[in-house]
Structure formats: structure tokens, C-alpha cells
Structure 1
Amino acid sequence: MKKHILFICLLATVAATAQVDRTKAPKPAPAREIKIGAYQTFTLKNGLQVFVVENHKLPRIQFSLQLKNDPIYQGDKEGYVEMAGTLIGTGTKTRTKAQLDEEVDFIGANLSTSSDGIFASSLSKHSTKLLELMTDVLYNPAFSPEEMEKLKTQTLSGLAASKDNPSSIASTVRRALVYGKQHPYGLSTSEKSVGSITLDDCKNYYNTYFKPNNAYLAIVGDIDFKTAKSLVEKYFAKWTPGEVKNPTYALPKEPAKTYVALVDRAASVQSVINIGYPVELKPGTPDVIKARVTNQILGGGFSARLNQNLREKNGFTYGANSALNSDNLIGNFNASASVRNEVTDSAVFEFLSELKRMVNEPVTEQELIAAKAEISGAFGRSLENPSTIAGFALNTARYNLPKDYYNNYVKAIDAVTLADVQATAKKYIRPENAHIVVVGKGADVADKLKKFGEVKYFDIYGESYVPTKASALPADLTAEKVIAKYIEAIGGDKKVKEVKSLKVVYKGNAMGTELVLSLQQKAPAKSIKEISGNGMTFSKSVSDGKKAFVEAMGQKPPVDAKLQEVLIFDGSLFKETAYVGLGAKASLKGIETIDSKETYVVEFTMAQGEKMSEYYDKQTGLKTQTVQTVKGPQGDMLITLKYDNYKDVNGVRIPHTLSQSQGPMNLKFEASSVEVNPVIDDTVFKVQ
């Protein structure tokens, strides 16, 4: 019977299909009505606005306290607001951080703080205890000097890592140029600003802005309105209100004409491209929904124009996208991608071409239908999370939206027309008035980028400068002479030859986990390098001078002849003295300015063709970094290892600070022990 039913259904489908005119796109179904869960609200006498979203599917509860004020301009103390938010959660006047963490863990809860407020969640049966802890943090932050110093150290460590991350650099420079450094959005935390932050700065932020009349409280989960109101009155009614002034700022303006802001990173094999400018687009205004649809077509997803052009058609990148954002102070447009150096100018050309096409040509009906479907689908899926409803309630209050704004959201999306999209593009897409930020190798890309406007140079903090022309290589200088100067700089040929083995232990930190980098080497090319933490070995490479293997998280991937050669070469005790015996060749490639210092670049080419570049300070002769390009699933990846803080150990200068950047990962290590000529048994270097 089932087969007969299936056959009948199939016939009906075929018959219906035969009558469809396939030369015309099918008309989209009318927007379905979205039913958004209800929320209830009340306001305490002290001004705290409370929103309650009941959801009894799971016995869980969450409390989210959010401040209302706009961002604060922090000037030369940029970063203190974020520090204040973190410090609030590092202990109270009656509980140390350890005690607070223990009590939170005991009830299986989460409790976090930020400059925007406090978030807490747990099983609903622990609501009372959770609020006790949450309000202790709210009313009685300890602002411990010791925790402040820890936080500063962590912040500086993160900044050190971000200095070598091209995407972080591009973001910093883009914000500085799009908003200007007199606007809160234009500033970025720096080592200098961290050094100027005091504990009083953090206390003043807390005392000024953590007021009930400057806050919303969203309660979501397994609780009824009556109980929620009773708990809020018990724990938050005593919170004292106070005057909170919202600052105003001059509106940033787009540049008079498009230009290129180049951040020169001499070792880069890829360029990070950000094209952006400010736009006056406030939440809740009629253009917001039209802008959402317009950007979805341009760069809002995989099937959007930018990605289809730069990735699918041209193969320049693994992903290109754009965003047209609304904001209560000032919105912005940004389009971005990471591309190979050799196609940087071509990628910028395609970006600008797509922006111009968006302005000058109507989009197709198919593109509009697809964009609406993607947006509506994502909106519908977001409603599965009850926190979304609380977010809608907060936005409605914060931006004075119509009460039915989100109930009618899908209908508003569906009402956007082809004419609306082009009108919105003409208003907000400005290829002629954009900052084109490129973080890449200036020697490879600068001249080719001039066709898009003046090329201006900026450092990693967004400060402009006029580049100085690199010195010409002396006619008689060779790679061998650069290497000889390096050997002399670290102790001289005699001392270096006396070193038969070396053992160094470095310590670092990654996301709160202490890492140990252990390095053992024995002349000429035996080595073992191991990174571990929390009792686990994350990675290990071993070379016996003839064979090598690598291990990552307990797994041993296959090692081909080329990689084996690289591991042996890179693990050699002093590769500058060992390279000839290992069959490698050295060539002097030029002079590059790295971190404001001129360096000689020597390229070592191994017998199998793999290459590794070493950089030597022109003045001191010391090696400053090693750069290698490796192939990964997302294309070529640059691995940079920087050497600093050289110290004399038994007559030989050894770098005591190592900084490694590999894609988005950045690690910094400090030497905790260094042994020259220790006894190391050869069995340590056994390759299995």
C-alpha cells in the first residue's frame, strides 16, 4: 500500500511540475508569522529595570545584569574600563577570589563579570545562593592590588601576542582610522596605556557607572514572575542609585577619497585586507533592516557576492565577507579577507568592483529571495534560545523600539524590495570614500596598491609615519660574512665550537595554562623539543641527526623526507655552523626593517628544496628571528620565532626570550634554566 501511495504522490508532483513556467523564479511564500515568547517587566524604586522570561523546559536559571551607558572614552588609560570589569569578579570584601570560585563551583554555577555588567547561572534550586554570590560581587568588590597586578601581567602578555597577529593589527589600525583616536571606538589598549592604569581608575569606573538606574536585569529560566520579583526586591532593592551622565562624541567622518593604509610586515606571506568607513545608522531606524538585507547579498554569507567572487571564482582567499553595522553612537561598514601577497592588489580590485556593482546595478530577484530566506531562517533558529527573548526585551528598552518590533521582524525583512536594496546601497556603500587597510609585506604589495589611491604607512597602533628607504646591501657582503658576524656576536668561533650540548627550559602561558618548553640539543644535529602543560605533552619533535619524528597530543603524523630534513636542520645545535654538513646552502636575500631595526635576511635552502629564513641585526649581528612558511589546510602559514634578551652563559650568549607566532596562535617563553655542555645520553634522541 505504501508503494502505491508513494507512486500516486510522485505522479501528482510530476503533473504539477509540468505546469510550472521554469523561465520565471517562483514567487516566495508570504512571510510566516513569528510567535515570540512573552516576557514580563517591572522597575524597582531605585531605577533598576527588570525583564523576566519564563522557560520551564530545564531546571536552570540565569541572571544577566547589563549597564545602559554608552562606551567611555579612556584616553591614554585605554583598557582601564575592561580591567575594572574583570577586577569586580576577583574577590569581595568578605570572600577571596579562591573562596568565591569555590562557592560558585560547589553549586555548579557560572559567575562572570565585565565592564558591561555581571552574568550568573545555575540550577534553579540554587537561585538564592547564586544571587547571594552575585550581589556580594556587585556591592562589595575588593579591588585587590595583587589581582590588579596579575591582570596587568595577563593583559601585557596578550598584547605581546597580538602584536604579531596580522588580523589583530588590521583591526586595531582600522578602528583608529575609521573612528579616530578622539572616539572611544578608535582606541586600542597598548603597553603604554596599561602602564598608566591605576587601581583608583578602576574603582572610579565602578563607583560612577554601576548604578541601578543605569542597569537592566534580565532573568531567564525556570522561575515564575512572582518569585522573580520577590528575589529581585530582596537582593537588589538596597542598591543605591546615582546620577550617571552619558557622554557625547563628535561623529567620525569617512575620508574625502579612498586611500590605502599599509602596515608593512616584512615577513608576511599573506595580506590582511580591511575596507571600512563610518556610517550613520542607528538601531531601530527604518534603514537597519534594509541594510541587513543589502549586506547579506554583498558579503553576509558563503553564497554572497564577495565570497563567490574572491573565493569561488578567483581562489584568492578562504573567505571574504562584509558587515554593515548599526550602533547607537556610530555605525560602520567593513569588508575583509586574507589573501596571498601576490594577489593583494587583485583582491582589492575585486572588493571595490563588487562595492561599485552593488551601488550601480540592481540585485537580482533570486539574490533578494535567497538573502531574505537566510536572514529569516537564522532569526527563527535564534528563538530556540530563551536568552534571545531577553535580548529582544533589553534592545526594545535600550533603543526605544516599537513593542512589536521583533514580532514583525520577518515581515519587515520580507517587505524589502529590489529598489530598497539599491537605494540602501547608494546610501551606505561608498567605494570612493573608504580606508583600505592592508597588513602585508610592503616590498611585495605597495607599488601595486597605488592604483587605488595614495599609499600611506601606519604602524601597528595606527600611527602614521614616513618609511625610510632600506640601506643598500654592501657589494662585498655575503651570507657567510653575516653568519660570521653572528657567531662573533654570541661569543666567537672558538667558544661556539666548545659547545657540544645545550639544555634550556623556557616557561610561558597560554589562556591561563602554564606551558613549559624544554629544549635539548647535542652537536651537530641531535635534538628534542617538547611543549607541555598541566601534566600533558602537547607537542614533541625528536631528531637523531639522521631521522626525525613529530608527535602532537599523543599522535604521530607521517613525516616525509622534506619535513624530516627541516626537523633535523632546525634542531641542529647552531645551524649557522652545521648547515654545510647538513647539505644546506645559504644566500643573502636583502635588508628588511623588522621592529624598527634593519636586519640582514639569510635564506637557508635544504637539499630537498625546503627553505628557512634567518634575520640578523645589522648593528649587533645577533639573530632576531626565524621565519618559515609551511603548507596547511587553509593554505600557506607563516611561523615566526623571535629571539630576544640574549644573556651570557659560560661565554656564549643565549636568547632568554622566545616569541612564536603561528596563525592566530602567539606564545611567549622566558628561560628559567640554561645549561651549556650538560651530559645528555644519546638514548634521549632515539627516533622510534
Structure 2
Amino acid sequence: MKNTYIYIVVLLLTFSQALAQTDRSKLPAPGPAPQINLGEYESFTLKNGLKVFVIQNDKLPRIAFSLILDVDPVMEGEQAGYISMAGQLMRNGTKTRTKEQLDEEVDFIGASLSTSSTGIYASSLSKHTDKLMALMSDVLLNPSFPVEELEKLKKRTLSGLQSSKDNPNAISSNVSNVVRYGAAHPYGEIETEATIEKIDLQSCINYYNTYFKPNVAYLAIVGDINKKDAEKLVNKYFGGWKKGTVPTHSYPAQVAPAKTKVVVVDRPSSVQSVINITYPVDLKPGTPEAIKTRVMNQILGGSGTARLFMNLREDKAFTYGAYSSLSADELVGTFSANASVRNEVTDSAVVELLYEMNKIVKEKVTEEELQKVKNNITGSFARSLENPSTIASFALNIERYKLPKDYYANYLKTVEALTLEDIQATARQFVRPDNAYIVIVGNGKQIVPGLGKFGEIEYRDVYGKVYVPEVTDIPQGLTAAKVIENYINALGGKAKIEALKSINTEMAASVQGMNLTMKVVKTNSGKFLNEVSMPGMTISKTVINGDKGYTVMQGQKMNLEGDKLKEALQQADMFAEMNYEKNGVKTNLLGIEDVEGNKAYAIEVENAAGKKSTSYFDVQSGLKVKEATTVDTPNGPFNTSVSFSDYREVEGIKVPYVMTINQGMVIKAEVKTVEINGELAEGLFTIE
């Protein structure tokens, strides 16, 4: 025992001496790239040209099928969006099963089955393999394209587009695509209400009939099955799939602009700017450059420890996060560097983004930065191999992009071999701070004065169309107070509003197929009820009675106190604008803005607690058409809005019969009944 103790002491002393002699200011010398065992896959091709890859994995009794079409992107024109809908419609019924029957059969075996415009995915327990293939082949070979399902898809898409029009990130994405690729490229097309409305069923059917052919398809099978059984199964269910000639398409080569251009999407209500520095690049999947750009971009802006993040968030505190990406594509790749920042630091943030882009071009990265990224990629690559579907995607990529057979087997060796010189050469090739589109969605009046130094400024709308801003000066002498006074008069006048005792409104709406009832009751004595319910269930409820109130959300009741109570009391006003001065609300006339194609006065409203929102009043009618609010969340600012339309007169007071609520999901509420000065149910405002 004594000898053992002495041996341990000697080991500890030796170890401590080794540590003392180690220079811990330097990273340890990297070892060789780990040997990667990618696992085995087998393949075969049907007579109709369908290429099949089998990755056997019997660790779990599960199986997954992934069918991918290798087809060129298609210009959709005035029906932009129809190709995506064609893919979704395939899952909504076949010639032998309705959508409901499909859903029931898929659920019964605990499976998943989804479709897209370029393929199908299905998975289940391996004991249900035959049944799953029967369902998958029925969806693939016999879609019925029910017209009623198309109308539902169009309705949901229009609702989503309505939401995205108020989402600065969605606007930035759309406009960036338009300026980066142009109108003559399929990547430059965006969906609008007009294009969705024009989509017809025949276009969807034509796309399916033209492009869903086995000779341009790849099928990956991963799970508890061997090649012999897979071949029997695939022949049984897909052997009768008829091959055909599939059109190919070519498009103009996309290049970065000759000099940097600033593109502004003016949103006067924005309290922050969404910045995207972007341009097209010639970067194909599976090339040596694709690996180099991954490493280089990881240093520039590919993570929360990269240069952009550390500069704009950690050092300057401009943003919640700043990132960059370099994506490869068979047609045209993309570079983007982006951040969302406060209006007042917009130009400073652009300076820092460009600074980091210039720095990585002009100066070599450090050995420490490079080694950290290599270590990160090695770890994530190794972890990805734990998922059998990774092997399937590797096999498909090798076949689709004609890669060397050992491309992925040597992936980490290629990464490890990269030098500081390689990274700088890659940055010089792909990072173009002087040849970029700087797309900024934000408050034009606040941000444009500081942007001229970066390049020519061009204005575009939310659809990416160029326009020259109108000079819409506010009429001399007009104030926020006067706009609000005009609104009160447009509603029916101060005298009629002050004579109101109560307003009882009931509205109907639907969300994802669920019917909702929304009830709002207000009195001139400070009583208020706002209740949202569906058959048999109350979703939310707020009650105010004098200086007390509570709210119920998802069955949880909370008494309102402090600032929350003050805000709720303002909501209890029948017309809050009548009492702005009494409630300490500040207003500021910002300017004139376009709201749904009409000019409206934008007024900033700041309540007594310092929370701000923007109200919009139609220039012609004087009526309020919209309220917009930005809410701070842990993930950054979140925009919400309520639009008001279809005003109708009820006993001398104009009431909006349609309210469109946008909180990331759009809810259109339509008034069913409005009762003014009617008898109210007893106990409606009881505070327990």
C-alpha cells in the first residue's frame, strides 16, 4: 500500500513539472485529422432510371425514405408560388384516398409522410415498411390535386404574406433576393398577393406531370433493411413509374455589382434597421472552394464567437447578433452579412460590417482562430456521422454533383490541411466589400442621411420594386393633436362619443381551421371585457372594473397591478384618443406613410410608462387604419400590428367591421354584432 502511495506521488510530481514547463499561452500542436469511417452504402438503378441508395442500420427498428428530384429551378412568372403549392397538394389526396384517409392511415402506423415540389419524405417503424411504401407510392404516382385544397393553401399563403409585409426580416429577405438575382432569374421571383391569387390548379398539375419523373430522381433508404429486400420493395412500388423527358433551363450568370449600392426599404415606424450586405458568388456545391469558404466564413461571421458577432454585439453593443453566410448552389451561390440594429447606429453598424469584411481580405487570420474553427468543424462533422441519414445525403451529393468518391472520407483531411494563406486567398476571392448590395429595411428619415458615404442610394418597396420617394410634406400647421381631433370628428364627433354609455362588440375569426369568438365590451364608467374563446373553451380573458382588473391566459389567472393595470385601464377607454392628455400620453406626428396603398399620417404614441407605438390615420377619411407596436424580446424586437377597415355607421358612430391582427400569425376578425348603449349581462365585470 505504501509503495502504491509513493508511486502516485511520483506521478503527480512528474505531471506538475510537465505542466510548469508547458507554455499555456500557445495552443497545443494539432494532431493529424481523425480517420473517418463513413459507413457502408449500396446502390442500384431501376429500369426507369430511378437511382436508389441503401444505408442499412439495424440499431433501431426504424426506416426512412427520402426521394429527391434533381431538376432546374423554373420561372413561375405571374403565378409565383404555384410550384411550392403543387408539391404541397400531392399530400392532400390521391385517386384512392382523401386527405383525411391519408392522414388516418399515416397516423395509425405512427408514421410521417410529407411532400414538396422536389420530393417526398416518409418514415416509420420498420415493421410497417410495406404499408409505408404503399402510401408513399400512392402519393407519388396518383395525386388527385383537389381544387378545394388548393383554395385552402392559397388562403393560408395570403395570410402569411399579410404577416410578412409587417415583418422587416421577411422584407429584407425578399428585397435581397430581387436585387441579388434580378427579375430574369427564378431566385429573384417573390410571391405576392397578386401572384398567389392567379395560381390555378392546371399549372400545379402541369408541373407535376412535367418534372416528377424517375430518371431525374434519387431515392435514399436508411434503416433496418438490406439491399436485397430494398430492391424487391422499390421495384414493387416504383417499378411502374414511367420515365420521361424533363426540361432543362439556363439563366444569365449572376455577378456582384460593379460598385457597392445602398438599397433602402423605408418603414417610418421601424425602431431598428435590418441590414444585409449581400451579393451573388460563383460557388458550386462539393468543390474544394466550398470547404475553404466554410472555414473562412466560420471565422468571419459563422457563429456567436466569430468576428462580426464579437465586434457588433460584444464590443459595440449595436445588436443582439451579427452573422455572415457563404452558401453554395448549382446555379449561383450567395454571400450575406447581416444584423438588426438601432436606427441611430445604422451607419455605424454598416461601417463595422464592412471593416470586418475588409480586414479578413487584407490581413491573415490568426493561427488560433483557424485552429479553433478546424476543431469545431471536426467535432460537428464527427457528430453528424452518428445519424445514418448523413451517410445518405453524402451518397446523394456524390452522385448529384459528380464528386470524387472519397470526397467526404477525406473531408477533415482537407480541412486540416488549410493554411493561413489559403484562408486569405479564399477571402480575397469571395469577400467583396466594394461590390455589394447594402440592403437596409428601416426608418428612411432617420437612417438615410448617414448612408450616402457607402454608395448610391436606391429606394425599393417591400416587393423589391424601384421607386422615387414622393416629397410628401406635412401640411403647414398640422399637429398630432389636430390629426387625432379629425379622427374623433370622423368617428361621429366628440359630443356623440361622450354620450356613449357602452359598446358591446362580437367578432368571429379563424386560426388554422379553429373558429374563434372575440367579445369586447366597454363602458363609459371604466368597465372593460375582452374575451377570446372557441367552442367549449376560453382562450384568454381580461376584465377591468374601476381600478381593479385581472387577466386569464391558458387557464392561469393573474391580477393586474402597476404598469400592467395602467395599460389595461387605457385599453378600457371606449376611444383612448379622447383621453390622451388626461392619461399622460405623448404624441408626435412623424410624417406621411403608405398603408395598404393609401396615404396615412403616422403618429408616435408614448404612454405614461414610456412604451411607444405608432398609429396611422388615413389622410382622406381621417379614420384610424392601423396600430403598430414593437415589443422587445430575448431574441430581439418583435413587431405586431392591428389594421382597421370596412368602417360602418352604427347609431351615428363609425365602427371598423374588419380588424386584421398580426402577431407573427395573421388573424382576420370580422364584426358580427355591435350594440351601442344596450343592456349588459349582470356580473359581466365581476372581479373575484
What is the TM-score when the length of structure 1 is the normalising length?
0.94
Does residue 162 of structure 2 align to residue 163 of structure 1?
no
Distance 1:644 1:7 in 2: 83
2:167–2:639 contact (8 Å) kept in structure 1: no
Query: Which residue is equivalent to 2:574?
Result: 573
Query: Which residue is equivalent to 2:46?
Result: 44
Label 1:112 to 1:615 Cα distance change in 2 as closer, same or farther (>3 A): same
More off after superposition, 214-223 vs 551-560: 551-560
Distance 1:93 1:635 in 2: 47
Query: Which residue is equivalent to 2:675?
Result: 676
Distance 2:544 2:359 in 1: 55
Q: Share of identical aligned residues, percent?
A: 49
Query: How far is the alpha carbon of 1:498 from its aligned partner?
Result: 4.3
SS of 1:648's equivalent in the other structure is strand
Q: Residue type matched to 2:660 in 1?
A: S
Q: Residue type matched to 1:135 in 2?
A: S
Query: Which residue is equivalent to 1:589?
Result: 589
Q: Residue type matched to 1:592 in 2?
A: I
Query: How far is the alpha carbon of 1:77 from its aligned partner?
Result: 1.4
Query: Which residue is equivalent to 2:665?
Result: 666
2:593–2:602 contact (8 Å) kept in structure 1: no
1:295–1:323 contact (8 Å) kept in structure 2: yes
Query: Structure 2 matches for 1:322-337, cutoff 5 A?
Result: 322-337=324-339
Query: How far is the alpha carbon of 1:487 from its aligned partner?
Result: 2.1
Pick one of 103, 111, 120 that aligns with 1:118: 120
Distance 2:8 2:510 in 1: 62
Distance 1:331 1:591 in 2: 40
Label 1:5 to 1:246 Cα distance change in 2 as closer, same or farther (>3 A): farther
- String of CA shifts for 1:85-110, please: whole Å, max 9, x gaps: 01111101111111111111111111
Q: Residue type matched to 2:148 in 1?
A: E
Label 1:374 to 1:541 Cα distance change in 2 as closer, same or farther (>3 A): farther
SS of 2:256's equivalent in the other structure is coil
Label 1:603 to 1:419 Cα distance change in 2 as closer, same or farther (>3 A): closer
- String of CA shifts for 1:105-139, please: whole Å, max 9, x gaps: 11111111110111111111111111111111111
- String of CA shifts for 1:518-538, please: whole Å, max 9, x gaps: 322222532232344586555
Distance 1:537 1:654 in 2: 25
Query: How far is the alpha carbon of 1:609 from its aligned partner?
Result: 4.3
Label 1:345 to 1:512 Cα distance change in 2 as closer, same or farther (>3 A): farther
- String of CA shifts for 1:34-64, please: whole Å, max 9, x gaps: 1112111000000000011111111111111
More off after superposition, 539-548 vs 549-558: 549-558
Distance 1:457 1:237 in 2: 54
Pick one of 285, 303, 306 that aligns with 1:304: 306
- String of CA shifts for 1:661-684, please: whole Å, max 9, x gaps: 44xx13222214232234334733
Query: How far is the alpha carbon of 1:256 from its aligned partner?
Result: 1.2
Distance 2:325 2:376 in 1: 15
2:506–2:674 contact (8 Å) kept in structure 1: no
Query: Structure 2 matches for 1:194-213, cutoff 5 A?
Result: 194-213=196-215
Label 1:358 to 1:508 Cα distance change in 2 as closer, same or farther (>3 A): farther
Label 1:116 to 1:571 Cα distance change in 2 as closer, same or farther (>3 A): farther
Query: Structure 2 matches for 1:9-158, cutoff 5 A?
Result: 10-158=12-160
SS of 2:97's equivalent in the other structure is coil
Distance 1:198 1:7 in 2: 82
Distance 2:255 2:303 in 1: 28
Query: Which residue is equivalent to 1:496?
Result: 497
1:526–1:573 contact (8 Å) kept in structure 2: no
Distance 2:535 2:58 in 1: 39
Query: Structure 2 matches for 1:446-595, cutoff 5 A?
Result: 446-475=448-477, 477-511=478-512, 513-532=514-533, 537-555=538-556, 561-580=562-581, 582-595=582-595
SS of 1:51's equivalent in the other structure is strand
Label 1:627 to 1:195 Cα distance change in 2 as closer, same or farther (>3 A): closer
Distance 1:535 1:379 in 2: 50
Q: Residue type matched to 2:543 in 1?
A: V
Distance 2:186 2:100 in 1: 34
Q: Which runs of 5+ in 1 are unaligned?
A: none
Query: How far is the alpha carbon of 1:560 from its aligned partner?
Result: 5.2
2:113–2:123 contact (8 Å) kept in structure 1: yes
Distance 2:178 2:534 in 1: 37
Q: Residue type matched to 1:617 in 2?
A: D
Distance 1:4 1:310 in 2: 55
What number of residue pairs does the alignment pair up? 684
2:590–2:604 contact (8 Å) kept in structure 1: no
Distance 2:355 2:284 in 1: 27
CA RMSD of aligned residues (A): 2.3
Query: How far is the alpha carbon of 1:607 from its aligned partner?
Result: 4.1
More off after superposition, 641-650 vs 537-546: 537-546
Distance 2:630 2:173 in 1: 24
More off after superposition, 567-576 vs 164-173: 567-576
Label 1:283 to 1:5 Cα distance change in 2 as closer, same or farther (>3 A): farther
Distance 1:452 1:649 in 2: 54
Does residue 421 of structure 2 align to residue 419 of structure 1?
yes
Query: How far is the alpha carbon of 1:604 from its aligned partner?
Result: 4.4
2:181–2:254 contact (8 Å) kept in structure 1: yes
Query: Which residue is equivalent to 1:626?
Result: 627
Label 1:621 to 1:97 Cα distance change in 2 as closer, same or farther (>3 A): same
2:65–2:222 contact (8 Å) kept in structure 1: yes
Distance 1:283 1:469 in 2: 47
Label 1:10 to 1:685 Cα distance change in 2 as closer, same or farther (>3 A): farther
More off after superposition, 587-596 vs 511-520: 511-520
1:31–1:410 contact (8 Å) kept in structure 2: yes
